[in-house]
Amino acid sequence: MSEYAIELRNVSVAYGDCQCLADVSLAIPINSVVALIGPSGCGKSTLIRSMNRTNELVAKTVTTGEVNFGGRDVYGSRMDLRELRERIGMVFQRPNPFPKSIFDNVAWGLRSNGIRGRKRLEEAVERSLRAAALWDAVSSKLDQPALGLSGGQQQRLCIARALAVEPEILLMDEPCSALDPIATQRIEDLIDELKERYTIVIVTHNMQQAARIADFTAFLMAEQPHEPSRIVEFGRSVEIFTRPGDERTEAYVTGRFG
């Protein structure tokens, strides 16, 4: 049994003939929160999407290297994409609840796995909404449209929806960037609770946020413009934010560029 939830070895990703990431190696410890930071356009979203193979849904991409998840190569020919994406959940930058009821949103993933029993669905919906700290706010209006919730509630609903299928890893690509400070605070608290049971990878532009919630931080950057990005530094967040080993990391985290 590996101590890592997911392990990337020499992963490179290209959009057509535009090389975006080169030789990224990253081992994400189980039950930790790992933040990906770096200047805009450096490939953070691409990197996080490479873990559940959603890059290929967005554009034509070529990925090389190995992503080891549970002893198997995510990019191997025997990988079942449905299973992979079920076990590695994802939360997007803009809350994207479906135009359905709150209940149907959370139950959606389970139903698409063929789970139909009302009782089982109800239990799972309650458990997931509690885990996403949304139960108290919505328990009396589960049949109402999800789009009637506030932005922060919608994002927590999306987290609940992802949790309902019981993933092992939760990928979050700037989950707070469309939210106000209070809603952001609640998501951060939530992430702190969730890491007891899940491994979380989060992309963020907010240095304070990364420092507050992430156990580990990876700093990603291209050496030259138009070159692929690489991991400049990866380590415990305290180290990265207080004693960075690389001067580019220091410049970035102290806000001197990017």
Ligand X SMILES: Nc1ncnc2c1ncn2[C@@H]1O[C@H](COP(=O)(O)OP(=O)(O)OP(=O)(O)O)[C@@H](O)[C@H]1O
Q: Of 114 and 255, which has the nearer Cβ to ligand X?
A: 255
**b vs e for 68-101, b when ≥16 Cβ sit within 10 Å of the residue's Cβ?**
bbeeeebbeeeeeeeebbbbbbbbbeebebeeeb
Q: Of 6 and 232, which has the nearer Cβ to other proteins?
A: 6
Torsion-angle region of 147 (φ positive above 0: left; ψ -120 to 50: alpha; else: beta): alpha
Alpha carbon 196 to chain centroid distance?
16
Please tell me the number of Cα atoms within 13 Å of 129 on its side-chain side: 24
Q: Of 45 and 105, which has the nearer Cβ to Mg ion?
A: 45
Tell me how far, at minimum, the Cβ of 137 lies from ligand X, in Å: 29
By the rule CB under 8 A, 84 interacts with other proteins: yes
Tell me how far, at minimum, the Cβ of 111 lies from other proteins, in Å: 8
- Mark 32-71 with x for binding to ligand X (rule: CB under 6 A) and - for no binding: ------x-xxxxxxx-----------xx------------
Alpha carbon 2 to chain centroid distance?
20
Map the footprint of ligand X across residues 20-39, applying CB under 6 A: 20, 38
What is the token pair recorded at 58?
A: 């967005």
Q: What angle is formed at CA 213 by the lines to CA 1 and CA 52, rounded to 5 degrees? A: 50
Which residues contribute to the site for other proteins (CB under 8 A)?
52, 54, 57-58, 82-87, 89-90, 92, 94, 96, 98-100, 108-109, 112-113, 145, 147-148, 150-151, 154, 158, 161-162, 165
Binding site for ligand X (CB under 6 A): 15, 18, 20, 38, 40-46, 58-59
